[in-house]
Structures are given as C-alpha cells and as structure tokens.
C-alpha cells in the first residue's frame, strides 16, 4: 500500500515509555499550536492499550484538549513480536521509534519499516547504537 493511503501519517512507537510520553505530547501540542487538531492522522503504539490511553488522557489534560484521545489512534504492538511490528509499519507512513534500549530493540523496528516501505525515525542516543548497527547488518542505511 502506498504510504499516502495508510491510515496514519505518523505512529509514535513506545509512547507509554519515558521518552515516548514526551514525544506524544509534543506531537499533540504542535497540532494545537498550528491550529490543525486533526489534519495529521497519527497514532500511538505500544504493548498496553490502557497505558497508551493514559498517555493520551494526560496530554489532553495538559493541553486543555478533551477530545485528543478520540482523535489519535492506538496500535497494540510488541517489539519482540515481528508480526505486530509489520502490522504497525503497514499502517503508517512514518514510525517514530521511542522504544529502547536501542541496541536491543532498534533493529527489529527498522527491519519491519524497511520491509513494509515505511519511513523510520529513531531517537537513539546510545553511542553503540544507530548507524554502526545498520552498516554491518546488510540493511539499507538510514540517515
């Protein structure tokens, strides 16, 4: 499926984690600041629907945006389950990966994105992660 026909432009994967919560809130905040409440179809993804729902509820309270949780999709996905990674990647034009530590969980996410024609952005800040892992893995290099 062409990426412009996918249900979500952006999926924040690992949205219930420490960094993912901030990323999800900032995506929502940016939409409020630009006055485009639902112009960017996006979703949060992770293992627990309840935790993801709480992330959206907290962001809605902080931003004074009570309809946020009904505007944002929720995808259940586990980094240790390749089929769920594929399903997530098939629904997005871009996956913003906030799952860590990257050295353990980064490659499966990139692999699912590459195999499904999805762009992947990773917030990896680990010195041993990132580009070096993918240069040696035989997978396409990403910047």
Q: Under a CB-based contact definition with an 8 Å cutoff, are residues 40 and 118 in contact?
A: no
pLDDT score of 136: 46
Scan for tokens 């594929």, then name that residue: 86
Token output for 108? 């499966």
Task: Supply the pTM of this predicted model.
Answer: 0.86
Segment among 13-17, 26-30, 34-38, 60-64 with least mean pLDDT:
34-38
* Beta strands in the chain, from DSSP E residues, in sequence order: 8-13, 42-46, 73-76, 92-97, 119-122
| C-alpha–C-alpha distance, residues 106 and 134, integer Å | 10
Domains of the chain and CATH, by start: 3-137 (3.40.50.720)
């Amino acid at each position: 499926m062409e990426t412009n026909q996918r249900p979500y432009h952006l999926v924040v994967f690992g949205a219930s984690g420490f960094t993912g919560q901030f990323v999800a809130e900032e995506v929502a905040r940016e939409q409020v600041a630009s006055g485009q409440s639902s112009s960017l179809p996006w979703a949060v993804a992770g293992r627990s629907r309840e935790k993801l729902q709480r992330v959206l509820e907290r962001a809605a309270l902080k931003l004074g945006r009570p309809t946020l949780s009904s505007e944002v999709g929720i995808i259940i996905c586990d980094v240790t389950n390749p089929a769920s990674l594929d399903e997530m990647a098939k629904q997005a034009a871009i996956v913003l990966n906030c799952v860590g530590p990257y050295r353990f969980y980064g490659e499966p996410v990139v692999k699912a994105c590459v195999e499904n024609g999805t762009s992947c952005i990773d917030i990896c800040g680990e010195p041993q992660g990132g580009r070096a892992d993918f240069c040696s893995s035989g997978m396409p290099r990403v910047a």
